[in-house]
Amino acid sequence: MNVLFFIGSLTGGGAERVTVGLANYLVRNGHRASLVTMHDSDRDFYIPNNAVNRVCLDLASENRGLAKFIANWKRLRALRHVIRAEQPEVVVGMTPTATILCILACFGIGTRVVGSERNYPGRKPIGTSWSLLRRLFYRFADAHVAQTREGADWIIRHAAARNVAVIPNAVAWPIPNYHPLVDSTSFVSSERRIVLAVGSKSEQKGFDLLLEAFIRIAPDHPDWDLAIVGLASTRDENTGARGKLQLQAEKKGMSERVHFPGLVGNVGDWYERADLFVLSSRYEGFPNVLLEAMATGCACLAFDCDTGPRDLIENEVNGVLVHPESLDCLSVEMNRLITNEKLRATLGGNAVKVRSEFSQDRIMSEWLAILNG
């Protein structure tokens, strides 16, 4: 089988990681895979297997108005040219905008198109124009993949999507390393206990809520620190997501106990180091970071947002769910887990079962069924 995946970039993020994982799995198992991005490969954080055909359109400039329309027309033409050249049997759009462009690029060619939702579309904003295009064109894809039943129902109801399969994310075990490799002890002394959070999108991941909850309980637990991994640095650190969180910590006198290592390629080592993992997301698709933390045996605490965490966590069995966006509930449960090492060990021991339930072989068999049509 010859499959072409299309996504904006391979910078850090869950959709990007899943895309590379899918392409790598296919080439390891005798298939052909092309991975096409709008951004140049210089921005790649996740590096695909050498056998994956990497194609960069280099058409990712930010535009508005007429310039934006022209830019998307150029992307569409370039993508159509690549599809004609590579002649894949199926093209997979890995985000809503990528799916729309794939559908339009394949009109008249006859190539099958599969759309893939990597978040919960009911909460993930894509803009007015793209939302309209989704409602108009999703029905023309041959199939769609959603991560949860709720996500599938949403695109069926609001975008007339057809042939929608629910396929959760897989966990690669052991968790692969990328670059840079960042030693946790270079940020947090080995004598300290760690509450860990991981993510590249601060607003969605609710890091402001997590930080405030930690600040509330930190005085009672002087040997514990908070590490938020995955936020890249920005040109203006004062206005970027990481800078705002650092300022929030400084105002409460917590800058010495809250750490921002940035992008790390060895996130598995950070899960191993963590004493408690917290997912404070306002919304999710199917959270890779929670899945990986559970596979590592972390005790995990998560907001029970619309979709995602409840598909992984059985409350009080392999993790703890709390009312979404509630600072009171989050701080109370963080305090309970910090003070109960036995409970953390029990939750972590049960959590590792996700390795088999969401193994790559098991999840990829479902993907192959969709890709084969």
Taking Cα atoms as reference points, which of 104, 60, 59, 61 lies closest to residue 83? 104
For the chain, count helices (H), then strands (E).
15, 13
**Is the predicted pLDDT of residue 239 greater than 80, yes or no?**
no
pLDDT for res 236: 56
Tokens representing 11 are 């910078």
Q: What is the pLDDT of residues 37-47, one digit of tens each?
A: 999 998 899 99
127-137 residue pLDDT tens: 999 999 999 99
Per the structure block, which two tokens stand in for 222? 């002087």
pLDDT of residue 66 exceeding 90 = no
233 near 348, Cβ under 8 Å? no
CA distance 91 to 34: 9
Separation CA 296–CA 289 (nearest Å): 11
**235 pLDDT exceeds 80?**
no
pLDDT exceeds cutoff 70 at 237: no
Residue 141, C-beta contacts closer than 8 angstroms, at least 6 positions apart: 93, 99, 102, 103, 113, 114, 115, 161, 162
Average pLDDT over the chain reads 96
pLDDT at position 58 is 84
Angle of helix 327-338 relative to helix 207-217, nearest 10 degrees, comes to 60
SS (H, E, C) 94-143: CCHHHHHHHHHHCCCCCCEEEEECCCCCCCCCCCHHHHHHHHHHHHHCCE
Distance CA 98, CA 56 (A): 14
Lowest mean pLDDT among 24-28, 38-42, 194-198, 288-292: 38-42
CATH of segment(s) 2-170+358-371: 3.40.50.2000
Q: What is the percent of the chain where pLDDT is above 70?
A: 97
CATH class for domain 184-356?
alpha beta
Band (184; pLDDT cuts 50, 70, 90): very high
**Whether the Cβ atoms of residue 162 and residue 114 lie closer than 8 Å to each other:** no
Band (pLDDT 50/70/90 cuts) for residue 65 is: low
Q: Look at residues 116, 1, 115, 5 and name the one whose alpha carbon lies nearest to residue 53.
A: 5
Maximum CA extent, the chain: 65
Tell me, what amino acid is at 101? Answer: L
* Arithmetic mean of pLDDT, 317-332: 99
Give the pLDDT score at 63: 62
More confident position, 71 or 299: 299
Q: Answer yes or no: are the C-beta atoms of 337 and 301 closer than 8 Å.
A: yes
Average pLDDT in the 208-219 region?
98
Per-residue model confidence as pLDDT tens digits over 98-123? 999 999 999 999 999 999 999 999 99
Confidence of residue 170 (pLDDT cuts 50, 70, 90): very high
The model's pLDDT over 258-304, given as tens digits with 9 standing for 90+, comes to 999 999 999 999 999 999 999 999 999 999 999 999 999 999 999 99
With both helix axes pointing from N to C terminus, report the angle between 96-105 and 65-86 in degrees, rounded to the nearest 10: 60
| Cα–Cα distance measured from residue 183 to residue 270, given in angstroms and rounded to the nearest whole number | 8
Buried b (16+ CB within 10 A) or exposed e, 254-291: beebbbbbebbbbbbbbbebbbbbbbbbbbbbbbbbbb
pLDDT band with cut points at 50, 70 and 90 for residue 62: low
> Does the pLDDT of residue 64 top 80, yes or no?
no
Given a cut of 90, is residue 254 above it in pLDDT?
Answer: yes
Q: How many whole angstroms separate alpha carbon 210 and alpha carbon 43?
A: 29
Domain boundaries, the chain: 2-170+358-371, 184-356
Instruction: Give the mean model confidence (pLDDT) for residues 189-214.
Output: 98
* CATH topology match: 2-170+358-371 vs 184-356: yes
